Structure 1
Amino acid sequence: MTAPPEGNQLSYVPSPAPPARPAVRFGRRAPWRTLTVVLPACWILIAGWNHRWIGDDGLIYTRVVRQILAGNGPVFNVDERVETSTGTLWQWLVAAATLPTGKDPATVAVWLGLVLCTAGFVLALLGTLGLYGRPTRVVPLGVVALLPVQATWDYATSGLETGLAFCWLGATWWALVHTGRSGRHLVPVAVLLGLGPLVRPDLSLVTALYAVVLYALVRPAPRRALTALVAGLALPVGYEIFRAGYYGILVPLPAVTKEASWTLWDRGLFYLADFVAPYQLWLPLALLAALSVPVAAALGDASDGRRTLVIASAPVVAGLASALFVTKVGGDFMHGRMLLPGLFLVLLPVFLVPLTRIAASALAALTVWAGACLLLWRPPHTNDDGSHFVVDEHTGYVNVTDQDHPVTQSAHAARTFLFAREARRLTAAGERVVLIETSYDRKVEALPLSARRHPAIRFAGVEARLGHAGVAIPLTESATDSLSLANPVGAHTHPVVFRKAGHEKPINRAWVIADYTDPSPADSPAVRAARHAMTCGPIAELRDSARSPLTASRFWHNLIGSWERTRLRIPADPAAAERQFCVK
């Protein structure tokens, strides 16, 4: 008789174990099943390689990686503690991979993203095979609906955390299938699930849903459940404590800048349409939705059919929730990027399906659609209706760098933007200035830099492209952006434009001048108001949380004030901010 689990000695009654299912085997005994995993993995590997690149947002990560490896900590600049990396785990993985190789972190990020993306597809396919369990001949269907979509290839690299997200989603799906059936390895799976918020904050939705499903399926004894809960929360909670004490707020700064709690349905629906329409994605999704009915019926007829249907439903619900959240908050400005995880999740249970006449017919129809995607259908370079704006970033950076595969920092440093040229000239001359870009590539202004910012800083640059600024300006100098992704004051201002996601908070030039220069009789009223506002109450404390020396006292003060600091919002107009925060 099986021993009762520890911690529940009196009430435990052993339940019949589900029938054992043969392990998924590969090789000579199952060549067809091997091909259904290998061929899609090869497809994403080759397509991702052919579209390899890194963009401006990927370069934001690489500057932080270089700061980490230089011993300055996970910061964008040496003079302030600001977390610019939304994918926390990704920046540390890139740093770990760069350290032993000594290679350009941009190139390392491209390679690492591609490898992790391919691994994610392999794990996802193995998970779906495990869902069926029996040595049934299967055909790829859901995966065929994902692979021809150009955005999938583009973000297999790009220097962003999407490849890691695919890997995590594939691994958690595989774990959900196997642990949901056997109940084994619950604690390691809990640790894996706990990584979701560190991969991307919005993946907390998947973590929470999968955790609930696993608990309902496994029904662990209280002590085992508590152990799994503690193991799953250890890394995300531990890092959250570090984040709050080190940076002074509870989320990465771009999450504050982009206001993840917004409701912008019109812009979100525009973003959703920009993803679905170019590929006619409604065709394969409608076909697979219809096919899922007989597939679900067949799964439900198995001896553990109810359990299997619960497992199969979990990623579909998670994927729909992810897509709904992205749409609600207004989407993104990069074509398809934020909707890819949701599509991946929704398709997971039908990545592979048992071979039947209906499945064979569906595969033939999907093959025709995939051919049209590959040969005819591409997203527009720019989708702009005057109120909303989405862009094909991959094509844009191929064009702007004049390289088919811009995968190095030097490829981007070679760009002839006016800001970069002036930044190199002024840093080479050793002038103590702050260079402010006042409009894209049309005008820059150099002003004397105040020694109050940091005595060792001799040059500061402020422009719209944060990754580009991070490449153009040395690590020992200060680089920030006019869109407030790295500006601790600007990120907390109220939004002023809503056309392009992530670009809602262009900081008023008066705040920049007040922050980087000494008072002058020539200051405008707006600059004088900004100078005064930054010395008042919560705004002054916000700046201190990022710029004061990190002592034990500062860490504790940051930690206990992180909730209020995260919630703080400042009027974009310096005069309004002065009236609100300064006592006359």
Structure 2
Amino acid sequence: MTISSIAPSGAAATGKHGGAGTRDRRWNAAVVVGAVAVIAVAGFSRRWIADDGLIYTRAVEQILAGNGPVYNVGERAETSTGTLWQWLLALAGVLGAVDHVSTAAVYLGLALTSAAIAFGVLGAQRLRGSWTVPAGVVVVLATPPMWDFATSGLETGLAFAWIAGSWWMLVRTRDGRGGLFWLAFVLGLGPLVRPDLALVSIVFLIAMGLLHRPRAATTFGLLAAAGALPVAYQVFRMGYYGVLVPLPAISKEAGTSYWSRGVLYFADLFATYWLWVPVAVVLVFGLRHGVSRADRVLVFAPVTAGVLSWLYVVKIGGDFMHGRMLLPGLLLVMLPFFCLPKPARRPSRAALSLVLAATAAFSVLSPRPLLSPGVPESGIMDERAFYVAKVGAPNPDSVTPFLAEAHAEAARIAGADRELVVIGRDLSFPLSAERTNRVGVVWSVLGTAGATTPLDEQVIDPLGLSYPLAAHLEPQPRQRAGHEKVLSHTWITADYGAPTEENAAARRALACGELAELQASVRAPLTWGRFVDNVLGAFARTSLRIPENPVEAERRFCR
């Protein structure tokens, strides 16, 4: 007997006892509605957009203006880590549903997070049978960072919806519902939702194979369906941007290891809320009650993917936003335990209820006992609290409060003429004669910089999220996650400013060898020949690193 031929226990119960089946369906529907209502209300009450969310909006505005998926006109840099999120926001902009892309990012994120909770509950109910009680979903809903990143303008809402929706579709195929090729196509979208979700795609695709045991020819077809869009986009990325990954992955050195900082990041979430207690309790109850042999693949696939996701985040050193990068793993590990069969023994029911009630109460009454709005020594910060305090709005859910807070910087940018303006410091430099734009803005707060600077002017990010030259710097001694690289003014003036004796070595280095080729790959006109050269050189270009010292760079590239 194959797994796909096994009917869910709830279906049998409904057929034999119509009244009981009706009550079960009503109860299950109430659980779905209640869970979605909780995350919708919590997310709406804490709605906001992060400065990093505004990075997406400038790229989307460039698309809508006809300039292509870039951050600055004239330089092909992929600033959007979540490819599908960028294009989904572009679609929202084309439809004109809201006044500004930033507003669409906030409310679309909330809708997708709510959909993720619904998919998770529905999948767990189908997996577990006719009468289930909320368990793992309570842990997810009671975790305060989920309330923040239900919006934020980042790709997290889409990631939640893709994870839970993919698992829900996988569970449905157990009962012969849903086409395998359509499922394979959806499972393959992981790296386009966010590159690190390729791990989840791989695990889920393996689970689909174990669940259905397709023939060899069908397997090749399913793999083709899964890889069609990601492979096509990867070829486009290599030819258009000249590298293998989005620019932030290069800037943040997403392939390196920093285990000690990663462990600190993991502990920052789990110790702050004592999250390991409810997670462990739910796992113990979930694995001891109601897991049939036939369902093990559906249970262990998301758990395995979640653990791998956590390991990857810990390996690379975590993130600077409290909890953010660990939330997909938490959702994955809890998914098959969102709802559980009611424990048969009364003491077990009481213990599970007590732990979940205590978890919810602790989170509501003391959501951030160890955090403050400032930047702590660990570098891990409450990003929402920081920007609420910075822009002075309880719910900064659009670009407007960011622009209001940056009015002095906007006035300085508007008054500049043929200048390289350094925001945050009383510095400016003349632009080089080769530059045709009116102003170049050097500003490390990239989202606000992009919102404040006109689309046809240059935003120069010394951290490298939108500036290939800075992204390819050799990493400096580790500080906050994602902030290890800061391009000096010597390099920036050599690239954008007038020639000086100070930047002479940097100017010579920029004209030599691999460094000159890096510049050409993103700035030369995109002819067919340039596209092919970009594709062929993408592997070497992605691993290219530039010494911080211009003299050393000159020796290396101009030998």
Which bracket does the TM-score occupy, shorter chain normalised?
A: over 0.9
Question: CA–CA distance in 1 between the matches of 2:173 and 2:253?
Answer: 36
> In the alignment, which residue of structure 1 is the partner of 2:7?
20
Tell me the SS of whatever aligns to 1:374: helix
Any idea what the Cα deviations from partners look like across 1:292-337, whole Å, max 9, x if unmatched?
3322xx322xxxxx23012101111110110010011000000000
Shift in Å at residue 364 of structure 1? Answer: 2.7
**Structure with higher helix content:** 2
Given that residues 77 and 476 in structure 1 are in contact (C-alpha distance below 8 angstroms), is that contact kept between their aligned partners in structure 2?
Answer: yes
Kindly provide the amino acid, as one letter, of the partner of residue 374 in structure 1. Answer: V
Q: Does 1:65 align with 2:60?
A: yes
Shift in Å at residue 284 of structure 1? Answer: 0.7
> In the alignment, which residue of structure 2 is the partner of 1:566?
542
Tell me the SS of whatever aligns to 1:414: helix
- Paired residue for 2:48, among 34, 44, 53? 53
Kindly provide the amino acid, as one letter, of the partner of residue 491 in structure 1. Answer: A
Any idea what the Cα deviations from partners look like across 1:79-98, whole Å, max 9, x if unmatched?
11000000000000011012
Q: Does 1:381 align with 2:372?
A: yes
Tell me the SS of whatever aligns to 1:249: coil
Kindly provide the amino acid, as one letter, of the partner of residue 371 in structure 1. Answer: A
Shift in Å at residue 508 of structure 1? Answer: 1.7
Kindly provide the amino acid, as one letter, of the partner of residue 530 in structure 1. Answer: A
Any idea what the Cα deviations from partners look like across 1:64-93, whole Å, max 9, x if unmatched?
010000011100011110000000000000
Any idea what the Cα deviations from partners look like across 1:98-133, whole Å, max 9, x if unmatched?
21125200001001000011001101111111112x
> In the alignment, which residue of structure 2 is the partner of 1:105?
101
Kindly provide the amino acid, as one letter, of the partner of residue 504 in structure 2. Answer: R
- Paired residue for 2:173, among 161, 179, 186? 179
Question: CA–CA distance in 2 between the matches of 1:451 and 1:76?
Answer: 22
How does 1:134-173 map onto structure 2 within 5 Å?
Answer: 134-135=129-130, 137-173=131-167
Given that residues 253 and 485 in structure 1 are in contact (C-alpha distance below 8 angstroms), is that contact kept between their aligned partners in structure 2?
Answer: yes
Any idea what the Cα deviations from partners look like across 1:231-260, whole Å, max 9, x if unmatched?
110100000000000011010000000111
Q: Does 1:196 align with 2:178?
A: no
Moved more, 376-385 or 536-545: 376-385
Kindly provide the amino acid, as one letter, of the partner of residue 421 in structure 2. Answer: L
Question: CA–CA distance in 2 between the matches of 1:266 and 1:285?
Answer: 23
> In the alignment, which residue of structure 1 is the partner of 2:329?
342
How does 1:481-560 map onto structure 2 within 5 Å?
Answer: 481-520=461-500, 523-524=501-502, 527-560=503-536
How does 1:163-562 map onto structure 2 within 5 Å?
Answer: 163-180=157-174, 182=176, 185-295=179-289, 298-300=290-292, 306-356=293-343, 357=346, 358-378=348-368, 379-381=370-372, 386=377, 388-416=378-406, 419-426=409-416, 431-437=417-423, 441=424, 443-453=425-435, 455=436, 457-520=437-500, 523-524=501-502, 527-562=503-538
Shift in Å at residue 518 of structure 1? Answer: 2.4
Given that residues 79 and 478 in structure 1 are in contact (C-alpha distance below 8 angstroms), is that contact kept between their aligned partners in structure 2?
Answer: no
Shift in Å at residue 383 of structure 1? Answer: 7.8
Kindly provide the amino acid, as one letter, of the partner of residue 127 in structure 2. Answer: L
Shift in Å at residue 424 of structure 1? Answer: 3.0
Given that residues 114 and 163 in structure 1 are in contact (C-alpha distance below 8 angstroms), is that contact kept between their aligned partners in structure 2?
Answer: yes
Tell me the SS of whatever aligns to 2:319: coil
RMSD over aligned Cα atoms? 1.9
Kindly provide the amino acid, as one letter, of the partner of residue 319 in structure 1. Answer: G
Any idea what the Cα deviations from partners look like across 1:487-516, whole Å, max 9, x if unmatched?
111101111131201101011221101011
Identity %: 44
Question: CA–CA distance in 1 between the matches of 2:3 and 2:430?
Answer: 77
Any idea what the Cα deviations from partners look like across 1:473-492, whole Å, max 9, x if unmatched?
10011112111111111101
Shift in Å at residue 154 of structure 1? Answer: 0.3
Tell me the TM-score normalized by structure 2.
0.94
Kindly provide the amino acid, as one letter, of the partner of residue 573 in structure 1. Answer: N
Shift in Å at residue 266 of structure 1? Answer: 1.2
Change (3 A) 1:574 1:225: same
Shift in Å at residue 17 of structure 1? Answer: 6.2
Tell me the SS of whatever aligns to 1:562: helix
Given that residues 406 and 452 in structure 2 are in contact (C-alpha distance below 8 angstroms), is that contact kept between their aligned partners in structure 1?
Answer: no
Any idea what the Cα deviations from partners look like across 1:543-569, whole Å, max 9, x if unmatched?
000001111111111111111111111
Given that residues 140 and 363 in structure 1 are in contact (C-alpha distance below 8 angstroms), is that contact kept between their aligned partners in structure 2?
Answer: no
Q: How many residues align?
A: 546
Question: CA–CA distance in 2 between the matches of 1:310 and 1:241?
Answer: 33
Question: CA–CA distance in 2 between the matches of 1:195 and 1:519?
Answer: 46
Given that residues 6 and 175 in structure 2 are in contact (C-alpha distance below 8 angstroms), is that contact kept between their aligned partners in structure 1?
Answer: no
Kindly provide the amino acid, as one letter, of the partner of residue 342 in structure 1. Answer: G
Shift in Å at residue 377 of structure 1? Answer: 3.3
Question: CA–CA distance in 1 between the matches of 2:524 and 2:4?
Answer: 59
> In the alignment, which residue of structure 2 is the partner of 1:38?
33
Q: Does 1:121 align with 2:111?
A: no
Shift in Å at residue 463 of structure 1? Answer: 1.0
Moved more, 169-178 or 352-361: 352-361
Tell me the SS of whatever aligns to 1:561: helix
Question: CA–CA distance in 2 between the matches of 1:103 and 1:16?
Answer: 49
Question: CA–CA distance in 1 between the matches of 2:427 and 2:443?
Answer: 11
Given that residues 442 and 460 in structure 2 are in contact (C-alpha distance below 8 angstroms), is that contact kept between their aligned partners in structure 1?
Answer: yes
Kindly provide the amino acid, as one letter, of the partner of residue 380 in structure 1. Answer: L
Unaligned runs of 5+ in 2: 15-20
Shift in Å at residue 20 of structure 1? Answer: 2.7
Tell me the SS of whatever aligns to 1:390: coil
